[in-house]
A and B are shown apart, each in its own frame.
Chain A
Amino acid sequence: MQDRGRLGVLLVAPALAAVLVLFVYPLGYSLVTAFQAKGGGFTLGNFSKAFEFYSVDIGFTLVIIGMSTLLIALASIAVGGYLTLGENPRAVALLRWLYRWPLFIPFVVAAQCMRTFLAKNGLMNNTFVGLGILDVDQTIGFLDWRGIIITFVWKQTPFVALLVAGAMASLDRATIEAARNLGAGRLRILFEILVPQVMPTLVVGLILSFVTMMSVLSVPLMISGESPTMMTVDMAFRINNYGDYGTANALGFISYLMTATCAWFYLKRQVR
């Protein structure tokens, strides 16, 4: 029996070591250096610098990602809802086939595509002008905060929609049929029958999206100029231009706090 216990420890050791070395150690290291002055010793200077320089960007990051999360929620409910309640089998099949594509495209590629697509004289506006919908003078570029939100929503909706659609499909269809028999429209069924039942799945998907988006550097860097920009860009800038890991780690600490709040909700749901 003792032998088996030891074997168990041995078996779990590589995975545990990997987690410790590759995750816990760097996390702890960056947390500690966030509170370290350049010569060593405890300081809160990194944080006061982070807030002095980047408080706008911290707020901006929350707003951008908050709005993106909200839009992702709406879009994925729409996709999942149509896949469950849609009455045109061809349209449902087409949507089912199409909506997952962005899942397989990395953020950096998505950003590169959006950069030419959303520009003032980019593919999107040129198409509108070509179709006669817009005049050349009316076009506007979206290469700013709006572009970041569009890219995030485009990239993350399939992920949440995949979870939501799966959850909706596994619901007892009798509840839908019952509502339909009593005369409920599709929209009403979606928001009063389906969404409340898949809410746990939806929230988990959104939390994971939120955390993913918090960490993306390529999208804000490639889509938008600066001012205000997202915290990841500021972290990279602190390190690359000043070799200032202290302030960068302080910013990292602040984003840990944001994601940790989300993680707390996530774990609470998991335990229940």
Chain B
Amino acid sequence: MKPNLALFAALITSAAAFAAAPAVAQQTTLNVVTAGDQNMVDYIKDFLAPRFEKSNPKAVVKAVGTGPGDSGSQKIAEKLQAQKGNAAWDVDVAVIHQKMAGDLVREGLLAPYVRDVSTGRLVTSEASKNALGTNVQGYVIPMFQSQIAIAYNPALVKNPPKNYQELAAWAKANPKKFGYNGIKGGMSGVGFVVGWVYANTPDGDKLMKGPYDANTKANWDGALGKLKEFNRSVVITPGNAGTLDMLNRGEIAMGPVWVDMFYTWMADGKLPPNMRLQLIGPGLPGQPMYYVIPAKAANMEAAKKFVEMATSPAVQAEGIVKKFNWYPGIDAQHVKSQLDDKTWNKLFVDVTPQELASKGKVFPIKPYFDDILESYERKVLN
């Protein structure tokens, strides 16, 4: 019996050693970890990786997805926090949501890499400096900017509402024809609720810019009471995709969606081509996703090169705008020159650049954000 046991132990040890050995010596494996839906992983794996490996033959890009929504970013944050004591971390580049960026910068888990990257000069947007109230300048470059808007079926809605007030009236007159995904099923619903609070309280500016005051939420009872009333005449859909599904099947006529998902689904034939978008006033939030480099990334130099390539005007034009229908992460004028007018305009047919500038809001600073969600749970769901 004993020799067998020894053999068993030997097998386990050798297996462990085998697993730990690098596959090919001298090759750099760049771990790019992204939050978000599968399309984010595909974008890195199928679009960015081949380009990067072509110009850097010794590098292999490994794309890892951590799942959609803030939970995906949360997983990345937890991984970095767990490795805090190690000399080198196994995440080289991460793509995270805006909400998590502030926390990671405050905890000192990110490298201030933007000054070392030539494309850093091409970003001057507010989103590249301020993430829900935290100064993140120097630590992040937006990968893209995304926006929530109201999608509607023009066959069923002749005059789409232009603001929240008109929308509420329309929903009352057309029961169960407006649908959104609440706050537990994805960000398009969360954004709709945030927009509702901006529209129905005088606190909009304070929520977006701070400073935080824990008593502010006491003033929201009226707005949330109206939202509870509103919810009685609408459909709560299962998730971001659930809203688009129900629009597609004609079960609802209107609902908040991510602009990029809307165009991608339309291009894939999962949404009729006659569907339209409307950015209602006073505004709906949008958010960027950020390229960040952890403070102790194992392959820091390669990571910087990777982000530099990913935020270059050519890649932003071809990948972000043309392929995925996102608004560019770096300043638009650098990207526009890389594209023909037709592709560029496609993004701005329903939502004009002026509208985007005036009605494209940011999400509230984090403590207010949490307050809005908790107040919704307390007042609207209970």
Contact = CB atoms under 8 A, between A and B. Distances in A.
Q: Which of B1, B238, B239, B250: most chain A CB closer than 10 A? A: B238
A241 B370 contact: yes
Interface residues on B, range: 20 to 34
Contacts of B245: 115-116, 119
Given A7-B1, A225-B236, A242-B370, A121 B249 contact: yes
A42 interface: no
Contact of B184 (A56, A120, A237, A242): A237
B221 interface: no
A46 to B, nearest CB: 14
B229 interface: no
B5 A225 contact: no
Interface in A83-126: 115-116, 119-122
A119 B5 contact: no
B382 A53 contact: yes
A227 B227 CA distance: 14
- Which of A52, A141, A143, A239 has its CB near the most chain B CB atoms (within 10 A)? A143
A227 B185 CA distance: 11
Interface stretch (A32-40, A165-173, A177-185, A216-224): A216-224
Interface stretch (B68-76, B200-208, B306-314, B333-341): B68-76
A223 B245 CA distance: 12
A233 interface: yes
Contact of A221 (B238, B377, B382): B238
Interface in B1-43: 1, 5
A239 B373 CA distance: 13
A174 B367 CA distance: 71
Interface in B351-382: 370, 373-374, 377-378, 380-382
A141 B185 CA distance: 18
B1 to A, nearest CB: 6
B80 to A, nearest CB: 14
Interface in B35-91: 69-71, 74
A223 B239 CA distance: 9
Contacts of A225: 181-182, 185, 235-238, 242
Interface string B177-207: 0000111110000000000000000000000
B246 interface: yes
B71 A239 contact: yes
A227 B239 CA distance: 13
B251 interface: yes
Contact of B236 (A10, A226, A243): A226
A195 interface: no
Contacts of B69: 240
A67 to B, nearest CB: 20
A10 B382 contact: no
Given A120-B251, A141-B251, A226 B183 contact: yes
A10 B4 CA distance: 13
Interface size on A, as a range, is 20 to 34
A224 B238 contact: yes
Contacts of A119: 245-246, 249, 251
Contacts of B238: 115, 143, 221-225
Given A119-B246, A233-B184, A240-B71, A227 B381 contact: yes
B69 to A, nearest CB: 6
A143 B236 CA distance: 10
A236 interface: yes
Nearest to B249: A121
A61 B329 CA distance: 43
A121 B251 contact: yes
A43 B184 CA distance: 27
Nearest to B248: A121
A21 to B, nearest CB: 16
Contacts of B377: 53
Interface in A1-41: 7, 10
B70 A241 contact: yes
B287 to A, nearest CB: 14
B367 to A, nearest CB: 11
A10 B231 CA distance: 61
A229 interface: yes
Nearest to B78: A243
Contacts of A241: 70, 183, 370, 373
Nearest to B237: A225
A243 B74 contact: yes
A215 to B, nearest CB: 17
Interface string B244-257: 01100111000000
A120 B251 CA distance: 7
Q: Which 8 A-B pairs have the closest CB atoms?
A: A225-B236, A240-B71, A226-B182, A121-B249, A120-B251, A226-B184, A227-B381, A237-B184
Given A53-B382, A119-B249, A229-B184, 12 more contacts: A56-B381, A115-B242, A119-B246, A120-B246, A121-B249, A224-B238, A225-B182, A227-B380, A228-B381, A240-B74, A241-B70, A242-B373
17 contacts: A7-B1, A10-B5, A53-B378, A119-B245, A120-B246, A141-B251, A225-B185, A225-B237, A225-B238, A225-B242, A226-B182, A228-B381, A233-B184, A240-B70, A240-B71, A241-B183, A241-B373
Interface of B: 1, 5, 69-71, 74, 181-185, 231, 235-239, 242, 245-246, 249-251, 370, 373-374, 377-378, 380-382
